[in-house]
């Protein structure tokens, strides 16, 4: 596993340390890993939602290509 350094604003650092102090999470690193996983999942959902809005092409490829000329 690789270690990285991430600068945080004071308010986020206090919130992160509070979560650990209160025993709500096991460590600051655990919170950061879980947050990144959640972010990546949300991005995947957003990608799917964007793809659903894309226009769909249907029909004969020759006809579609002719329409683009």
Among 21, 28, 23, CA closest to 4: 28
The DSSP annotation for 22-66 comes to TTSSS-HHHHHHHHHHHHHHHHHHHHHHHHHHSPPP-S-HHHHHH
Please report the pLDDT score of residue 57 as a whole number.
Answer: 67
Answer yes or no: is 58 within a domain. no
Answer yes or no: is 38 within a domain. yes
Answer yes or no: is 65 within a domain. no
Answer yes or no: is 67 within a domain. no
Rounded (5°) CA angle 21-33-30: 30
Domain count, the chain: 1
Range of the structural domain that residue 29 is part of: 10-53
Please report the pLDDT score of residue 60 as a whole number.
Answer: 81
Please report the pLDDT score of residue 39 as a whole number.
Answer: 97
Please report the pLDDT score of residue 18 as a whole number.
Answer: 97
pTM higher than 0.85, yes or no? no
Please report the pLDDT score of residue 37 as a whole number.
Answer: 97
The DSSP element (H or E) to which 10 belongs, if any, is: helix 10-21
pLDDT in tens, 15-69: 999 999 999 999 999 999 999 999 999 999 999 999 888 877 677 888 878 888 7
């Amino acid at each position: 596993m690789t270690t990285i350094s991430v600068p945080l604003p004071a308010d986020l650092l206090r919130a992160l340390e509070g979560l650990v102090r209160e025993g709500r999470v096991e460590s600051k690193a655990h919170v950061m890993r879980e947050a990144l996983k959640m972010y990546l999942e949300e991005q995947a959902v957003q990608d799917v939602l964007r793809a659903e809005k894309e226009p769909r092409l249907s029909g004969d490829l020759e006809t579609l290509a002719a329409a683009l000329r």
